[in-house]
Chains A and B, each alone.
Chain A
Amino acid sequence: MPKDHGIGASSKRREDVRFLTGDGNYTDDINVHGQAYVHFLRSDVAHGRLTSVDTSEAGKMPGVVRIFTGADFEGVGGLPCGWCVTDRHGEPMQEPGHPVLAQGKVRHVGDPIAAVVADTPEQARDAAEAIIADIEEFPAVVDMKAALKEGAPKVHDDLSSNLCYDWGFVEENREAVDKAIQEAAHVTTLELVNQRLVANPMEPRVAIGEYSRARDEHTLYTTSQNPHVIRLLMGAFVLGIPEHKLRVVAPDVGGGFGSKIFHYAEEAFCTFAAKAVNRPVKWTSSRSEAFMTDAHGRDHVTKIELALDADNNFTALRTDTHANMGAYLSTFAPSVPTWLHGTLMAGNYRTPLIYVNVKAVFTNTVPVDAYRGAGRPEATYQLERVIDKAARELGVDPIALRRQNFVTEFPYATPVAVEYDTGDYNATMDKLEEIADLKGFAARRKESEARGRLRGLGVNCYIEACGIAPSNLVGQLGARAGLYESATVRVNATGGLVVMTGSHSHGQGHETSFAQVVADMIGIDENMVDIVHGDTANTPMGMGTYGSRSIAVGGSAMVRATEKIIAKAKKIAAHLLEASDADIELKDGAFTVAGTDKSVAWGDVTLAAYVPHNYPLEDIEPGLEETAFYDPANFTYPAGAYACEVELDPETGKVTVERFAAADDFGNIINPMIVDGQVHGGIGQGIGQALLESCAYDENGQLLSASYMDYAMPRADDVPFYSVDHSCSTPCTHNPLGVKGCGEAGAIGSPPAVVNAVIDAMQSGGHKVDHIDMPVSPSRVWTAMNG
């Protein structure tokens, strides 16, 4: 029986009511009295020296308040990078400066040169068009391998080359891996591209800076997934504002998918300018601006080799990746191709020897950072593609080959530094075979063929490391931040609760699911619990939402705080019931003395806490409010198996996804409806990557896909209904809820399933194609089949 309330119930989302009635409060809906507007003049060339920026005419235009250029930011810090990767030789990565407004050089199309603050957005834009920026154009580097050649133009003149780092992992295994590959019975090699994507949350970024001279206080309203992180990075490293003088508010945020984790120049600019002009300053990104300023995702070029013994056991894996950093290091960029990628290369398999090499490269392109999945989709894609290719080369069933090599005993320490706590990969594969109706595939293929279409089936597994992350571990790996989460639970006198969390919801439905957890623990109605997030002024310091960490880390902090509440409430109840607190039980919102019918209601206890007339004042303080910080002991490891069926029109090369099934193990589930929705959304993005999306540059560094005319987003008619299941559950062993997180799985697990299916379809038509790069567009398919 599905539950109707509490943990495990598909409670309807309370946040929906405001979103469905136009009553949301997104950043662009906020207008601060007296605000001015900023328009950025951005570079239209990819690389060059700024010889002069003449603002004299523009400055005289109507409504202009002030024009800023790089010179105004000379004494101000640059945008910091939050992760330092150490290279194969023990040296720190090369870390260039990242000014708020370009100084000396422009390094990608979209780099901000000047900023006009004016009374209206139109006036700001008109004046920006009147600025004369002289740029001595230099040749641009776009292709990563070309960028590493001797004599290539340097993106940063003060660095020794365009190489950010050359990372080897696990370096000590390098020779053993080489040897195992040399001696293997069979080696499958695959070269592939995980193309550059743009996250494209539907809400473009917005920033509003506000300053109170009288109180010397700054407020920044921003579209962020982690307001506390922005406050710390911007306050401490860019503008020198202590936290108690800086409030960051991220209200309703219209999707993030990683791209709203990072600290962006526009946030620092609006905060800085609001003080400089003594007026609130607002910036709203246009979509075209978003394409050239939001951090991009993926952009890996990889060669992977899988070695197998004569019995088809995996014996070694070697991968070699070039990862594009773009022109500057975005906040967490260096960690994505390394610690979020290399550590996942074992996948669901017992491969004893693994070596991962990653060369991170600067180019004259928009910075690249985490996008839904971040490193883990890149790991999964190459691994699951090479396994499929190996199965084909060896003439074995791809599912059987996977099953044969599955990790089956837990905990399992991989050769790439992580330890999987729980899992049952055969169970999710069994479930997948059932929900995808793999038995019926042959008949469906026949039916397609009768209509002149090819039909293909692609299956793959995935594993991800979520619930990011143990702070001490990531500290050793180069993180410059802790990755705990926090919650304050405030119980009001009449029994209602407010939970203030450091997690941030931008579509995930925390206001509903977090309330389910707390209500369940106490045994009260969910509507008695309110969740507050998104404002540094009324939430404890927390690291925000990304890496599928909210329920696993933020939820755990909330559980810990609620446990403290319950422990104290039991003491109060014991006093009221004249019993020992060890004998008090809390059930369905009432405290009882074990084995008796003596009880006191939740509301009477909370009232006593605030009206402490009859109260153990000598033992405990009045009031009922607790805070907890939770730092996880390990990552969580959601895993699963996905299947995609495509139909391919051999006349046109067009691929349509006919069926998609996902069997996931997320551990325990708080709200199944929300979890389904998270998986659907991830699959939608994964199908988008596999079939449609590509962020393209020409060789001069011009961004070719800078609007929805050129960047193909998945639309409703590009995708089918998905069949998703998360009944295979091996609860996480190290967090109190036994949860693993579900936000990224769909995007991680789905691209290889689609591409494997396309290859299968082509092969079934007699075309000996063993790889095709994403996006699998009709022209690529047609060319692959017709040479």
Chain B
Amino acid sequence: MPQVSMTVNGKPASGEAEGRTLLSQFLRETLGLTGTHVGCDTSQCGACVVHVDGKAVKACTMFALEAEGADVATIEGQAAPDGTLNPIQQAFQDHHGLQCGFCTPGMVMSAAALLKENPKPSEAEIRDYLEGNLCRCTGYHNIVKAIMAASGQDVGALAAE
């Protein structure tokens, strides 16, 4: 089986992968990084979103071999080494942006990519950007609110909603 090497959350990582092994599968099964979730087989749910070379990518749309030499970031690398949550993670907790947590890694990684592109997105821009991330639990209300809060916007008025 071919060997593939990449950087994952700043550390070198390598392993064997078949031609058909998806990046999502490689992360979960070979590297044991089970924070990246698989919620579908048609690249529609976004539970598997990671960053590859700084861009949000659905890890189920890419073969592991295609990530040779890439810089991959997953949910496991988002908090500080001492466990302090990053501002997006913290906002998700503060604003109850997750329930079962299954969509959450993908949501957090998508939100991070959005805020990098657009540091103060409007509600509509957030909803539009999350088009590829399904959540069945939250009705999206608190996810959108958390992302607005993470971008430094005042969501106090929304709290009354």
Contact = CB atoms under 8 A, between A and B. Distances in A.
Interface of A: 12-13, 15-24, 26, 28-29, 31, 122, 200-204, 252-255, 257, 286-288, 506-509, 673-674, 676-677, 680-685, 687, 707-709, 713-717, 719, 721-724, 746
Nearest to B145: A721
Contact of B158 (A18, A287, A717, A721): A721
Contact of A23 (B35, B144, B145): B35
Given A16-B92, A680-B138, A717-B130, A26 B108 contact: no
A20 B137 contact: no
Contacts of B117: none
B123 interface: yes
A508 B96 CA distance: 11
Contacts of A719: 139-141
B103 to A, nearest CB: 5
Task: Determine which residue in B20, B75, B145 has the highest number of CB atoms from chain A within 10 A of its CB, and name it.
Answer: B75
A673 B158 CA distance: 13
Nearest to B47: A202
Contacts of B74: 22
B62 interface: no
B14 interface: no
Given A508-B99, A716-B140, A717-B131, 10 more contacts: A24-B34, A28-B28, A202-B39, A202-B45, A203-B37, A287-B41, A677-B138, A680-B138, A716-B127, A721-B144
B93 interface: yes
Contact of B37 (A254, A508, A677, A721): A254
B42 to A, nearest CB: 5
Interface in B1-42: 18, 20, 28-29, 33-42
Contact of A21 (B78, B102, B130, B131): B78
A236 to B, nearest CB: 29
| Residue in B36, B44, B124, B136 whose Cβ sees the most chain A Cβ within 10 Å | B136
A31 B30 CA distance: 12
A13 B100 CA distance: 11
Contacts of A707: 40-42, 44
Interface in B60-89: 74-76, 78-79, 83, 85, 89
Nearest to B93: A16
Given A287-B39, A684-B140, A708-B45, A721 B100 contact: no
A288 B127 contact: no
A648 to B, nearest CB: 19
Contacts of B100: 19, 201-203, 252-255, 506-507
Contacts of A13: 93, 96
Contact of B85 (A21, A681, A724): A21
Nearest to B42: A707
Contact of B42 (A26, A673, A709): A709
Nearest to A12: B93
B94 interface: yes
A23 B75 CA distance: 9
A202 B103 contact: yes
Q: Which 5 A-B pairs have the closest CB atoms?
A: A22-B35, A684-B139, A19-B101, A254-B102, A507-B100
B151 interface: no
B161 to A, nearest CB: 5
Contacts of B161: 721-724
Which of A21, A28, A507: most chain B CB closer than 10 A?
A21
Contacts of A26: 34, 37, 102
A714 B28 CA distance: 27
Given A202-B135, A255-B100, A713-B136, A722 B42 contact: no
25 contacts: A13-B93, A19-B101, A20-B85, A20-B101, A20-B108, A21-B75, A22-B74, A26-B37, A28-B28, A28-B38, A29-B34, A202-B137, A203-B39, A254-B100, A255-B136, A507-B137, A677-B99, A681-B137, A684-B140, A707-B40, A715-B130, A715-B140, A721-B141, A721-B158, A722-B139
A507 B101 contact: yes
Contacts of B123: 721
A708 B134 contact: yes
Given A16-B98, A257-B136, A716 B144 contact: yes
A722 B124 CA distance: 15
A24 B41 CA distance: 21
Contacts of B101: 15-16, 18-20, 24, 252, 254, 507
Interface string B94-119: 10101111111100100000000000
Contacts of B85: 17, 20-21
Contacts of B33: 22
Contacts of B96: 12-13, 673-674, 676-677
Contacts of A200: 136
Given A673-B96, A713-B134, A680 B34 contact: no
B141 A708 contact: no
A653 B45 CA distance: 27
A676 B37 CA distance: 26
A257 B99 CA distance: 12
A512 to B, nearest CB: 10
Of A677, A682, A746, which is in contact with the most chain B CB atoms at under 10 Å from its CB?
Answer: A677
Contacts of A683: 139
Contacts of A29: 28, 34
Given A708-B44, A715-B131, A685 B136 contact: yes
Contacts of B130: 715-717
A526 to B, nearest CB: 15
Nearest to B130: A716
Contacts of B38: 28, 204
Contact of B104 (A20, A28, A722): A20
Given A12-B94, A716-B130, A509 B99 contact: yes
A445 to B, nearest CB: 21
Nearest to B126: A716
B39 A204 contact: yes
B143 interface: yes
A716 B75 CA distance: 21
A16 B95 CA distance: 11
B151 to A, nearest CB: 15
B142 to A, nearest CB: 6
Contacts of B28: 28-29
A93 to B, nearest CB: 31
Contacts of A709: 42, 44
